[in-house]
Structure 1
Amino acid sequence: MTIQDQWSKMRGRWLKAPDHWRAPALAAGVTAALFIVGGAIQNARGGWPFDRGEPNADAVTANARATARPDRVPIEVSSTDMTRLGIRLVAATSEDTVSTINAVATVALDESRLSHVHTRVAGWVEQLYVNTTGEYVRAGQPVARIFSQELLSSQAEYLAARRFAASGYATSVVASGRMRLRVLGMTDREIGAIERSGNPIRLVTVTAPSSGVVVNRGVSVGTAVDPSTELLTLANMGNVWVYAEVPETGIRAIRPGTPVRLDFPTVGIASIRGRVEFVYPTLSERTRTLRVRLSVPNRGGLLVPGLYGTAAFEVPGGRGIVVPRDAVIDTGRQQHVFVAKENMFEPRPVVVGLSLGDRVVIREGLAEGELVVTSGTFLLDSESRLRATGGGGAHRHGSMPMPEETAGPTEPASPAQADHAGH
């Protein structure tokens, strides 16, 4: 449809419309057209009655800074008022700082001291000498006796080779048969026993390769086994691992070799000193902590797996300016201290660093030897903010007024003074 057709269609609808609809519609159309035309002319001339652009941010910031008042102002306090108000001063010192990062510690088995007991032949367990988990086993102690058809046949072949060797055959066959029995797990004592008796041993004994506590028993009497079957798992408890969960905020300071103090108050042993042995490469998404590992001697066997304790990592923070924690006022947006210069107390913003118990490190804002207020800081801060808003009254030289309860008792007026005041 062409524009002319559309115009003709609209004109036809207009002519067919009732008369009482045409006048309001015509007036509204004319008003809208005049408004659009006038706006276009004003826009071209730049004559809008308001600024269509964004305000200059730099100009606004500069104007705000020029007109804004400081949050706090210096306060003058006399020596007498300082004593009455209990204001105490401490000099900022420069020290070699060491921060402490606390973490939860958990005792676990030393994985490097685990040993697994296997058999080298296929067969069946007919006797089991270790029946419970947690039992202590010594190195060389028998743990099970196994029947193996393969091993029984190898013993018979070895004994036959010995008889033929005695008749003049080569002894290399005997040596080969003896080596095969050793490979299949028989000890020299067991081989000597069959050599003396001339009969194979039906059940072969499996012994513990090392001393330790049984942490897993994988078989029972009658279980079919092969070389892949784990009979027992032994753990040497003479040394244990301790896992510590370091908070996300302190992981940058922890590395292998970092000193740590371990405490396990529930077992009543003294603090254990150690060093970080390994730092795991991944962060726990659930707890937002980094796991580190320490290796600790287990004297007396009191450090059992699963025991909870605490780990305190001692992280050197370098040399810094140190002040008491009570000297710092934290408003949530910034921290500041009151620096004393004769009888004037200046509020000064500072940047706080490491926390050292009842002291903190000031990274920026203070110099060594400057005096800071450690007692009466909130009273000074309240008065300083009041003066900054202009509500502190007209005190001479900005001196701080004394609270009413600290002022001395008022002497009653004499009769002569009262009479003079009446006149």
Structure 2
Amino acid sequence: MRKNWKNKVLGLLLLLLPFTFSACQDKHGTETGIAHAMEYTCPMHPQIVQDKPGSCPICGMDLVAKQPTNTPAVAVSTDLNYLLQPANQTVVSSIQTTQPVQKQVEKEITMSGVVTYDTRRQYMIPARFGGRIEKLYVKFNYQPVRNGQRLYDIYSPELVTAQKELLYLLQNDPGNTALISGARQKLRLLGVTEGQIKQLTRTGRESYTFPVFSPYNGYVLDPAVTAAPTVAPSAAASAGGGDGMGGMSGSAASAGGATGSGSAASVPGQGGGFAIREGMYVTTGQALLKVVDASQVWAQFNVASNLVGQLRKGAPVTITFNQLPGKTLQSSVNLVEPVFEANENFARVRVSLPAQGNSALIGQVITGRTSYSTGSALWVPKEAVLDLGTQSVAFLKVDGVFKPVSVQVGQRADGKVEVVQGLTAQDVIAANAQFLVDSESFIRVKETNR
């Protein structure tokens, strides 16, 4: 009985032996396939590929295992720890540190601009009565004129009639003061001066050609000329002394040929004459001449829209002339005008600039500088904040190691940057954030709460 049982066990073992051998063979074959699938290459010479570890026959470096092509990509962290390689590591270093400082900073604004005419000092001389131009005493654009200078003589039937009415009342009804006063007032409203009225009453003879005088100092222009000259007339010429030609430069006199509007381009002899001519008839209200007073000009600057809130009327401005090194002028902000032009928001700042006694030229390039206080804020050196494009980062020192923290920055001034959010005055941060990103000394530390 026992012998039969032993025979049965032996027979069962003989039946299982082929399966055991086959399994061992498959396992050995699998391991062999994996071993053969692994390849090794040289980091400096990738053309060297072997199926086992060894040395490069070219440079002697140890071969390293190649990554299979189907190896999954390493996930990129969305937090700031990726700045300290590898992820979730901080840097231990004895680099220089700094602390945010709560203080006020004086910030300077540098503005580039040009000298331009004061639009409030441009005057139009219209015809107060219709008639015919008998004599024209101004000959070309940008000719200097002074207050009281004779511009042209005109024959006007309306003015002749008004003179005769006054003379008739004086000769035939001298006691009618009301009518005589009304006749005098009519002549005044037509542009007749008190001196001309006294001369009329003294001589008792009306004038058929009536002179018109300039009521302003400046430079005379045709009304159609809208472009400013390339080089401005000198300030001395606009003072109105003598014949007004002493301070007129040749370039200023010829600057009237500057490109203006389409109507200005059609003016006959725009560079040297006017649209009105001797013998031409004019109508009441027609604009005949324009006078530009250049004794007061503007310095006009364009400023970024984010600085508009820092500029106030009356703020002091130091102006330097790019063509005149060392020459400065002190003035103040006269107007801050928000502008939207060419899909861009900015501000146009105007500063009054006295032209008399200065060599300011219309169109001259200038530079203005003004400053303002930023108010009490938290400031750090600009090197302590790393700009990543979408956010800014500082490296906070915690328990002897540095950790990246996201910060919100504001203004920049004098090599410092304002920290609006993310740090306090008690924090200690790395003085050079870029150094930590480039450093190769990294260790793994445990996350701790601040």
Per the TM alignment, residue 358 of structure 1 is displaced from its structure 2 partner at its CA by: 1.7
Counterpart of 1:182 in structure 2 is: 188
1: distance between equivalents of 2:287 and 2:278? 14
Counterpart of 1:193 in structure 2 is: 199
Counterpart of 1:328 in structure 2 is: 385
Please state whether the residue corresponding to 2:183 is helix, strand or coil: helix
Q: How does 1:227-242 map to 2 (within 5 A)?
A: 227-242=284-299
Per the TM alignment, residue 106 of structure 1 is displaced from its structure 2 partner at its CA by: 3.2
Q: Does 1:142 align with 2:150?
A: yes
Percent identity, aligned pairs only? 23
1: distance between equivalents of 2:79 and 2:409? 29
Q: Does 1:381 align with 2:397?
A: no
Whether contact under 8 Å (2:407, 2:422) holds in the other structure is yes
Whether contact under 8 Å (1:94, 1:322) holds in the other structure is yes
Q: Deviations over 1:303-340 (max 9, x none)?
A: 33333334445454321121222222223343223345
Q: How does 1:24-423 map to 2 (within 5 A)?
A: 71-72=83-84, 73-77=89-93, 82=94, 87-165=95-173, 170=176, 172-216=178-222, 219-251=276-308, 253-254=310-311, 256=313, 260-268=317-325, 269-280=327-338, 282-312=339-369, 314-340=371-397, 344-368=401-425, 370-374=427-431, 377-383=433-439, 387=442
Q: 1:261 to 1:372 in 2, by over 3 A?
A: farther
Counterpart of 2:253 in structure 1 is: none
Q: Deviations over 1:370-401 (max 9, x none)?
A: 444335x43432236x737x8xxxxxx99xxx
Q: 1:88 to 1:69 in 2, by over 3 A?
A: closer
Q: 1:347 to 1:173 in 2, by over 3 A?
A: closer
1: distance between equivalents of 2:305 and 2:98? 34
Per the TM alignment, residue 130 of structure 1 is displaced from its structure 2 partner at its CA by: 1.9
1: distance between equivalents of 2:300 and 2:96? 45
**What amino acid maps onto 2:204 in structure 1?**
G
Question: What are structure 1's unaligned runs of at least 5 residues?
Answer: 1-62, 391-396, 399-423
Q: 1:301 to 1:143 in 2, by over 3 A?
A: farther
Q: Deviations over 1:272-330 (max 9, x none)?
A: 342252424x5113444333433333343533333333444545432112122222222
Q: 1:141 to 1:383 in 2, by over 3 A?
A: same
Question: What CA RMSD, in Å, does the superposition of the two structures yield over aligned residues?
Answer: 3.5
Whether contact under 8 Å (1:337, 1:349) holds in the other structure is yes
Please state whether the residue corresponding to 2:374 is helix, strand or coil: strand
Q: 1:286 to 1:67 in 2, by over 3 A?
A: closer
Per the TM alignment, residue 163 of structure 1 is displaced from its structure 2 partner at its CA by: 2.4
**What amino acid maps onto 1:195 in structure 2?**
T
Whether contact under 8 Å (1:238, 1:301) holds in the other structure is no
TM-score, with length taken from structure 1 = 0.63
**What amino acid maps onto 1:152 in structure 2?**
V
Q: Displaced runs of 4+ in structure 1, greater than 6 A?
A: 63-69
Q: 1:230 to 1:350 in 2, by over 3 A?
A: same
Please state whether the residue corresponding to 1:300 is helix, strand or coil: coil
2: distance between equivalents of 1:287 and 1:308? 22
Whether contact under 8 Å (2:318, 2:328) holds in the other structure is no
Per the TM alignment, residue 353 of structure 1 is displaced from its structure 2 partner at its CA by: 1.3
**What amino acid maps onto 2:439 in structure 1?**
E
Whether contact under 8 Å (1:263, 1:272) holds in the other structure is no
Whether contact under 8 Å (2:116, 2:299) holds in the other structure is yes
Q: 1:336 to 1:151 in 2, by over 3 A?
A: same
Q: Deviations over 1:98-144 (max 9, x none)?
A: 44455442332222222222232111112222222222222122211
Question: What are structure 2's unaligned runs of at least 5 residues?
Answer: 1-74, 224-274
Aligned residues: 316
Please state whether the residue corresponding to 2:285 is helix, strand or coil: coil
Higher helix share: 1
Please state whether the residue corresponding to 2:328 is helix, strand or coil: coil
2: distance between equivalents of 1:139 and 1:105? 31
Per the TM alignment, residue 150 of structure 1 is displaced from its structure 2 partner at its CA by: 1.6
Q: 1:216 to 1:99 in 2, by over 3 A?
A: farther
**What amino acid maps onto 2:442 in structure 1?**
R
Q: Deviations over 1:73-94 (max 9, x none)?
A: 33223xxxx5xxxx44444322
Q: 1:378 to 1:65 in 2, by over 3 A?
A: closer
Per the TM alignment, residue 251 of structure 1 is displaced from its structure 2 partner at its CA by: 4.2
**What amino acid maps onto 2:212 in structure 1?**
V
Please state whether the residue corresponding to 1:146 is helix, strand or coil: strand
Whether contact under 8 Å (2:331, 2:351) holds in the other structure is no
2: distance between equivalents of 1:214 and 1:344? 75
TM-score, with length taken from structure 2 = 0.60
2: distance between equivalents of 1:262 and 1:247? 18
Per the TM alignment, residue 64 of structure 1 is displaced from its structure 2 partner at its CA by: 9.6
1: distance between equivalents of 2:149 and 2:303? 41
